[in-house]
Amino acid sequence: MPIPQQRDPERTTQQLIAWLAGKMPRATDLQVANLTPPTATGFSNDTLLFDLSWREDGAERQQGFVVRIEPRGYAIFPEYNLAQQYTVMRILGESSTVPVPRVYWIEDAGSIFGAPFYLMSKIEGRIPGDNPPYHVGGWVTEIPPEERRSLWMDGLEVLTRIHKLDWQKLGFGFLDQPQRGATGLAQQIHYYENYLVWAARGRPQPIAERALTWIKAHLPAGEPLALCWGDARIGNMIFRDGKCQAVLDWEMVTLGNPEQDLAWWLFLDRHHSEGLMTERLAGFPSREETVVRYEELMARRVRHLEFYEIFAGFRFAVIMMRVAQMMIAYEVLPPDSELESNNIVTQLLQKDLAL
């Protein structure tokens, strides 16, 4: 369920043309077409897709673009750093083999759309859907099993490219937040513990609270530190013919043990299958095969995956609180809905903790 779009298409089109004219002084006759929000996924973003045509140096030109706007109104995350996302994608695009859309300009002022935004290229391909989840419906159910296997394994290989990067050499030190803790994990726990308090609004959240207690009692030691995508899943990748064309959505990017990305990858897939009491589609590799392949690609063993799967469930449970509250605010759910504390995520988390 994407965030409801409340922008007037005609006004937004004119705003885009005026803004782009200032960024593209050699372009004339700018025309915006096919202005739409994404349909398959997205809770936390205000995103618009469009096609731009123009004349430049006597030639007709056309290109697809995406505008990512800092959300206003009902926020899923307590903090939202659009400039950080832009910088991460710019560095990856310029200095790595991680496929990301090209980012063009960022507008820090809110004078155009009422909030900061940035412009990036639109990548052709398809995204495994969240609505309906890709194990239940949509184009992933229609492709042959061998293509499903290919997109899963190719996506996993791209994930390890992120984890192998020399984050210090590439200049990702700005992601370190020592005020939150001494290690990447400590910083993440601090962030999500505060997030839990903010999202719970004084209301009991028994499963999430028990999970946090368990996490603090089972902290692993001596962990590697790497660039972590944060929202690592095939539903945040664009695919074409079973190959990953782009990695999207960097709101949750952090520094930490990269096993947390692998755990999130696995937990989100369980959410879309086991959590819905639906069999995984034929062709998707098993958890065990996925872990073996990840270890091969990283050339090291996975040591704390069970811990990070609980951590993934806890983080997702906290996020789901705000998603449920947003759905109530937009009148998708009734005011007395218990979804924020009883949902697929908390049910899986409860199962994992054997509560």
Name the residue range of residue 59's domain: 9-121
Q: Distance of alpha carbon 245 from its chain centroid, rounded? A: 15
How many structural domains compose the chain?
A: 2
Residues 49 and 171 in one domain: no
In a domain, 134, yes or no: no
Beta-strand relationship, 103-107 and 59-69: unpaired
Q: Which of 19, 9, 119, 106 is nearest to 63 (CA)?
A: 119
Q: Which of 311, 349, 321 is nearest to 228 (CA)?
A: 311
CA contacts within 13 A on the Cβ side of 86: 20
In a domain, 271, yes or no: yes
In a domain, 126, yes or no: no
Residues 178 and 230 in one domain: yes
Please list the pLDDT of the chain residue by residue as tens digits (355 residues). 445 456 788 999 999 999 999 999 999 999 999 998 775 545 556 899 999 999 999 999 999 999 999 988 788 999 999 999 999 999 999 999 999 999 999 998 888 988 999 999 999 999 999 999 999 999 999 999 999 999 999 999 999 999 999 999 999 999 999 999 999 999 999 999 999 999 999 999 999 999 999 999 999 998 999 999 999 999 999 999 999 999 999 999 999 999 999 999 999 999 999 999 999 999 999 999 999 999 999 999 999 999 999 999 999 999 999 999 999 998 999 999 999 999 999 999 999 999 5
In a domain, 265, yes or no: yes
Residues 146 and 59 in one domain: no
Residues 169 and 45 in one domain: no
In a domain, 143, yes or no: yes
In a domain, 127, yes or no: no
Contacts of 91 (CB under 8 A, 6+ apart): 170, 171, 172
In a domain, 132, yes or no: no
Question: Which CATH number does the domain housing residue 284 bear?
Answer: 3.90.1200.10
Q: Lay out the sheet containing 103-107: strands in order across.
A: 27-36, 46-56, 59-69, 117-121, 103-107
CA angle 318, 250, 153 (to 5 degrees): 95
Residues 149 and 50 in one domain: no
pLDDT of residue 110: 82
- Residue 36 forms beta bridges with which residues? 49
Cβ–Cβ under 8 Å, residues 267 and 309: yes
- Which residue, 121, 149, 179, sits at the end of a domain? 121
Residues 235 and 158 in one domain: yes
In a domain, 221, yes or no: yes
